[in-house]
């Protein structure tokens, strides 16, 4: 017996009498408490138990490689296109042909060969202290390298993949020489040696330790919605610029998912990926962790709405992901620690 459960965006999860007791083995590098409800909802709809293995991205990739064809993993999920592209290049993932995924995920947010798909996104923006900076002064990523910002800029390390992907997008837009000059400007303008995550940079800007920083949008949105009054007060002191609106648009990155190469439960794995781009699941991303949905027609969280709309860079995520290694070399040569 086969039952169809429609959960939005034309997506139907097939539920069979033999689905009870089946398991989807999920290797996840996402560590957000709100994802619990997302996975529980899939189980309720499909009758499939989700067995999660949570770890940092690189150890998960190494585990997949070491397990080889004995791996129980059905679906691999991670943050940043650079990480999931690395798994693809290592031959750890398999291609998927799905009209649902093709229709829901914009072309620039999925692998051209259908190996991995973005299911949420975030913009890497410039955050500034409202009392010290005019937004027009930081209209582009390139402007951050201007000497006027010497001693006024904060950013996390070059070793973090968010910065490698951003620099990879500049590499595609500007070429290696201009990108290295930009990275040298970033290193020269730092108010302190890079440390901490994006939230730390935002809080330091609000506290007056520097004037501008780079951060992903969901870090600021989560401060805006925090239950702690001090977090909301800090968020109110800063503003956001979506860079490069007059040309290529703002760099966006993804959380992405793929079916593992040796997935024991391939059919369920594909249905799970299709579920992640349904309207219902996309709302979890928007409301749970202040991430932008990839599918159209999904309402944003109030905090993301407050940040305003923006034009996003249409560069395919695979391109800047493949540029990660060269981007890191460039940043290191430039003195960006």
My answer on whether 173 and 151 are in the same domain is yes
* Residue 239: CATH number of its domain: 3.40.190.10
How confident is the model over 191-220, as pLDDT tens digits?
Answer: 999 999 999 999 999 999 999 999 999 999
Q: Which residues form the domain of 86?
A: 2-121+254-299
How confident is the model over 275-313, as pLDDT tens digits?
Answer: 999 998 998 887 888 899 999 989 899 999 999 999 999
My answer on whether 277 and 232 are in the same domain is no
Q: Phi then psi for 159, rounded to 5 degrees?
A: -70, -15
Cβ pair 54, 16 in contact under 8 A: no
171 falls in which pLDDT band (50, 70, 90)? very high
How confident is the model over 118-157, as pLDDT tens digits?
Answer: 999 999 999 999 999 999 999 999 999 999 999 999 999 9
Q: Which residues contact 153 (CB under 8 A, 6 or more apart)?
A: 144, 186, 189, 190, 191, 210, 211, 212, 213
My answer on whether 165 and 53 are in the same domain is no
Q: Which residues contact 155 (CB under 8 A, 6 or more apart)?
A: 163, 186, 190, 194, 201, 213, 214
- Domain-located, residue 94: yes
My answer on whether 22 and 95 are in the same domain is yes
My answer on whether 65 and 141 are in the same domain is no
Cβ pair 269, 142 in contact under 8 A: no
What H or E segment, with its residue span, contains residue 124? strand 116-129
My answer on whether 246 and 319 are in the same domain is yes
Q: What is the model's pTM?
A: 0.90
d(CA 168, CA 320): 5
Q: Which residues contact 276 (CB under 8 A, 6 or more apart)?
A: 38, 119, 257, 282
What H or E segment, with its residue span, contains residue 108? none
d(CA 198, CA 286): 19
Q: Which residues contact 18 (CB under 8 A, 6 or more apart)?
A: none
Q: Phi then psi for 129, rounded to 5 degrees?
A: -80, 120
- Pairing state between β 116-129 and 238-241: antiparallel
Q: What is the pLDDT of residue 6?
A: 43
- Domain-located, residue 304: no
- Domain-located, residue 305: no
When the pLDDT of each residue in the chain is averaged and rounded to a whole number, the result is 92
The structural domain count of the chain equals 2
My answer on whether 37 and 100 are in the same domain is yes
Q: Is 184 helix (H, G, I), strand (E, B) or coil?
A: helix
């Amino acid at each position: 017996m086969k039952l169809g459960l429609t959960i939005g965006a034309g997506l139907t999860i097939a539920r069979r009498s033999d689905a009870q007791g089946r398991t989807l083995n999920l290797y996840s590098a996402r560590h957000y408490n709100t994802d619990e409800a997302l996975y529980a909802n899939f189980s309720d709809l499909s009758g499939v138990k989700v067995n999660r293995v949570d770890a940092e991205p690189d150890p998960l990739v190494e585990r997949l490689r070491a397990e080889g064809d004995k791996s129980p993993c059905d679906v691999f999920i991670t943050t940043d296109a650079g990480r999931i592209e690395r798994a693809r290049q290592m031959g750890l993932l398999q291609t998927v042909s799905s009209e649902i995924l093709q229709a829901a995920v914009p072309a620039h947010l999925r692998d051209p060969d259908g190996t991995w798909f973005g299911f949420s996104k975030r913009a890497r923006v410039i955050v500034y202290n409202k009392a010290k900076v005019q937004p027009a002064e930081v209209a582009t990523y390139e402007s951050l390298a201007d000497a006027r910002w010497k001693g006024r800029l904060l950013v996390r390390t070059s070793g973090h993949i968010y910065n490698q992907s951003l620099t990879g997008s500049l590499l595609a837009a500007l070429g290696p020489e201009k990108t290295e000059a930009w990275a040298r400007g970033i290193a020269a303008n730092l108010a302190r040696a890079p440390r901490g995550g994006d939230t730390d940079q935002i809080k330091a800007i609000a506290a007056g330790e520097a004037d501008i920083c780079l951060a992903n949008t969901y870090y600021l949105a989560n401060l805006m919605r925090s239950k702690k009054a001090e977090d909301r007060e800090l968020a109110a002191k800063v503003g956001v610029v979506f860079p490069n609106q007059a040309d290529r648009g703002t760099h966006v990155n993804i959380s992405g998912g793929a079916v593992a190469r040796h997935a024991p439960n391939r059919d369920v794995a594909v249905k799970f990926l299709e579920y992640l781009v349904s309207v219902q699941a996309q709302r979890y991303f928007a409301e749970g962790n202040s991430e932008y949905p990839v599918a159209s027609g999904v309402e944003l969280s109030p905090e993301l709405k407050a940040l305003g709309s923006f034009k996003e860079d249409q560069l395919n995520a695979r391109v800047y992901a493949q540029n990660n290694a060269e981007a890191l070399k460039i940043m290191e040569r430039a003195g960006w620690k």
